[in-house]
Amino acid sequence: MGLFGKTQEKPPKELVNEWSLKIRKEMRVVDRQIRDIQREEEKVKRSVKDAAKKGQKDVCVVLAKEMIRSRKAVSKLYASKAHMNSVLMGMKNQLGKMLISTSALAVVYNTGFLEEEERSQLWFLFFALS
């Protein structure tokens, strides 16, 4: 615990790494759910074939509708996984841009072409972004 009850903020790089781990973990959970649904779909497909052999048309219709619902669920899970991947790449992209901008500010600051007031403003920005 820091001064006046404030906690020390983590550097952005650590935060992005931490969030990336959580997102990748959730992506693996989604993959597991997709595999489970597809495994169940194969079982339902076999049940439809068995029911068709026995001549149970109403059972076949219900099971076929269930298969369609499971395929829609799988496609939604793939979409959510793609969205998670997009968020992950966006975070890494923003982190990279931020690191480049702070290094650019450091170069400008160290060249010595700045007035004292501009230098103090850039110094503040440099430490605020890093």
Q: Average of pLDDT values for 18-33?
A: 97
Per the structure, how many domains does the chain have? 1
Is 5 within the bounds of a domain?
no
Is 4 within the bounds of a domain?
no
What gap in Å lies between CA 75 and CA 81, rounded to an integer? 10
Is 95 within the bounds of a domain?
yes
Is 27 within the bounds of a domain?
yes
Is 3 within the bounds of a domain?
no
pLDDT in tens, 84-107: 999 999 999 998 888 777 776 666
pLDDT score of 33: 98
The tally of CA atoms less than 13 A away on the side-chain side of residue 37 is 19
Is 81 within the bounds of a domain?
yes
Q: What is the model's pTM?
A: 0.71
Distance of CA 108 to the CA centre of its chain: 35
pLDDT in tens, 38-89: 999 999 999 999 999 999 999 999 999 999 999 999 999 999 999 999 999 9
Is 24 within the bounds of a domain?
yes
Domain range for residue 46? 10-129
What gap in Å lies between CA 27 and CA 78, rounded to an integer? 10
